[in-house]
Amino acid sequence: MSLERRVAIVTGGNRGIGKGIALGLAREGAHVAVNYRRNEEEAQQTVAEIEALGVKVKAYQAPVDDCDAILGMVAQVAEDFGQIDILVNNAGIASRGNSVADTDPAEFERVVRTHCFGTFYATHAVIPHLRERERGDIIMISSAATRNFMPNGAPYNVGKAGIEAIAYGVAKEELRNNIYVNVVAPGVVETDMGRRLVRATQGVENIRDIDATSPFGHVCQPEDVANVVCYLVSDKNSYVTGERVYVDGLAAAMR
């Protein structure tokens, strides 16, 4: 499953699921561009951990919802690394858990912009580079929220439905260019976002307290998500594109 000689961009790669994916890709031999929004310290920490794995790595500050910043970042990555083979659209923010009636329209715009516009900008910017390669890969990090679109999550639900819509269209558009496009959709994962979610929805302070009631006896870890991403972008995946893989141990389906 080697990813040697491939170059990956991971948006929101400095912490949480994105960091897990960036480390996972690097362990398989990929060089990694770590995108982040503002948390420079975590970006440098992640860069140091990836460097220790012996691959090339660099951090790039650029908000995904700023088109010019993303175009500039992608051009810079291509210059720094000489090529781009893999894009993981991971950067994301949660919504506040209110009904549509109680949601501030500005929140809706912010969440949808980050997920949908951010994913569109990065995908749009990277495709010309992927087309130059023998194979290209794009992964969208969606959410188990798209299994059943629960109430009190309209901005997030729309954001994730939107990025999936982009994925399924691009998969068809770029098939002839050997670009694989797949969606990876986790349930609750132990990250800052996941911890806030279980605190708000279940009143649980320590997310590991729900290990016993979680599928397979543990809360999903960033590595669980990274393993799926690494497989999908590797040459072990030769015939799967335009698909969605839920990484939630069926939790959302069993509710």
Give the residue with the Cβ less far from ligand NDP, 39 or 178: 39
Smallest CA-to-CA distance from 145 within 129, 158, 133 is with 158
x/- mask, ligand NDP, residues 40-59, rule CB under 6 A, reads --x-----------------
Largest CA distance in the chain: 51
Q: How far is the CB of 39 from ligand NDP (least distance, A)?
A: 3
Q: Kindly state whether residue 63 participates in binding ligand NDP, applying the rule CB under 6 A.
A: yes
Q: Kindly state whether residue 161 participates in binding ligand NDP, applying the rule CB under 6 A.
A: no
156 counts as catalytic = yes
Catalytic residue of the set 156, 231, 239, 246:
156
Q: CA-CA distance, 159 to 167, in Å (whole number)?
A: 13
Q: Which of residues 208-247 bind ligand NDP (CB under 6 A)?
A: none
Give the residue with the Cβ less far from ligand NDP, 75 or 175: 75
Q: CA-CA distance, 67 to 19, in Å (whole number)?
A: 23
Please say whether the beta carbons of 2 and 233 come within 8 A.
Answer: no
Phi, psi values for residue 179, rounded to 5° = -105, 120
Q: Given the rule CB under 6 A, which residues bind ligand NDP?
A: 11-12, 14-18, 35-39, 42, 63-65, 90-93, 114, 118, 141, 143, 186, 188-189, 191-194, 197
Active site residues: 156
